[in-house]
């Protein structure tokens, strides 16, 4: 195993990287209860990107965990979760934004994952229209029997991680959630670590 990248992403920070088929991508929650918003795009055709509905339908589960495959718009497997110490990650909460924070909490001009995604996607010649419903690693969004949902305190502990394998060349993009108005990041965002390795 050759480690290609090891980087700490500060609270509220962002990151992106191209991965080749077979590369491993690990996200480590250094202090626990920190949400990490995540998108993935086919490197050779970025318009074919992570599709939440296909991922939920084909895996037959609204939550992600070890063994889950992340599917694209064209129902291609982009990545597979190969290891996971938490066991349940969100597919429906989407990303926070300055706009949604104002509607939900009455606060203006707050940092958000949408804005982080837009800034990071610009590095790859993509724009706001490329921000789709994303994965929220470590985020706890239970769905009740009546269909109700809420963002609750995260389940991850310090050192918990999720690891994915690229099944085709991809571009991964993440936002280390800056949210302070709900428990997604424990009301106080903290750093995470990303590791890229090649078997």
* Cα 117 from Cα 123, distance rounded (Å): 10
3-state DSSP assignment of residue 135: strand
* Cα 107 from Cα 109, distance rounded (Å): 7
Report the Cα 55 to chain-centroid distance in Å.
14
Q: Residue length, the chain?
A: 199
In this predicted structure, what is the pLDDT of residue 83?
98
Q: What is the pTM of this model?
A: 0.97
- What are the counts of helices (DSSP H) followed by strands (DSSP E) for the chain? 3, 10
In this predicted structure, what is the pLDDT of residue 22?
98
In this predicted structure, what is the pLDDT of residue 169?
98
In this predicted structure, what is the pLDDT of residue 21?
98
Alpha helices in the chain (DSSP H): 52-59, 98-105, 113-121
In this predicted structure, what is the pLDDT of residue 12?
98
Domains of the chain by residue range: 2-198
Q: Which helix (H) or strand (E) holds 5?
A: strand 2-9
Burial label for 113, CB within 10 Å (0-12, 13-18, 19+), is buried
In this predicted structure, what is the pLDDT of residue 131?
98
Instruction: Provide the pairing of β-strand 14-19 with 77-84.
Output: unpaired
* Cα 88 from Cα 138, distance rounded (Å): 7
- Find out whether 105 and 119 touch, Cβ atoms under 8 Å: no
In this predicted structure, what is the pLDDT of residue 50?
98
* Cα 3 from Cα 188, distance rounded (Å): 30
In this predicted structure, what is the pLDDT of residue 100?
97
pLDDT by 10s per residue, the chain, length 199: 999 999 999 999 999 999 999 999 999 999 999 999 999 999 999 999 999 999 999 999 999 999 999 999 999 999 999 999 999 999 999 999 999 999 999 999 999 999 999 999 999 999 999 999 999 999 999 999 999 999 999 999 999 999 999 999 999 999 999 999 999 999 999 999 999 999 9
């Amino acid at each position: 195993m050759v480690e290609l990248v090891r980087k700490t992403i500060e609270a509220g920070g962002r990151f992106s990287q191209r991965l080749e088929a077979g590369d491993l991508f690990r996200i480590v929650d250094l202090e626990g209860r920190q949400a990490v918003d995540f998108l993935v795009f086919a490197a050779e055709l970025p318009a074919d990107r992570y599709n939440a509905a296909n991922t939920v339908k084909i895996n037959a589960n609204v939550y992600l965990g070890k063994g889950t495959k992340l599917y694209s718009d064209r129902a291609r497997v982009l990545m597979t979760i190969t290891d996971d110490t938490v066991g349940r990650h969100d597919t429906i909460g989407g990303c926070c934004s300055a706009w949604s924070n104002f509607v939900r909490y009455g606060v203006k001009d707050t940092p958000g994952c949408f804005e982080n995604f837009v800034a990071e996607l610009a590095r790859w010649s993509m724009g706001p229209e490329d921000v789709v419903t994303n994965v929220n690693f470590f985020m706890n969004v239970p769905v009740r029997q009546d269909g109700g949902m809420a963002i609750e305190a995260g389940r991850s502990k310090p050192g918990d991680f999720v690891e994915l394998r690229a099944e085709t060349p991809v571009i991964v993009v993440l936002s280390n959630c800056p949210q302070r108005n709900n428990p997604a990041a424990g009301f106080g965002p903290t750093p995470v670590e990303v590791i890229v390795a090649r078997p």
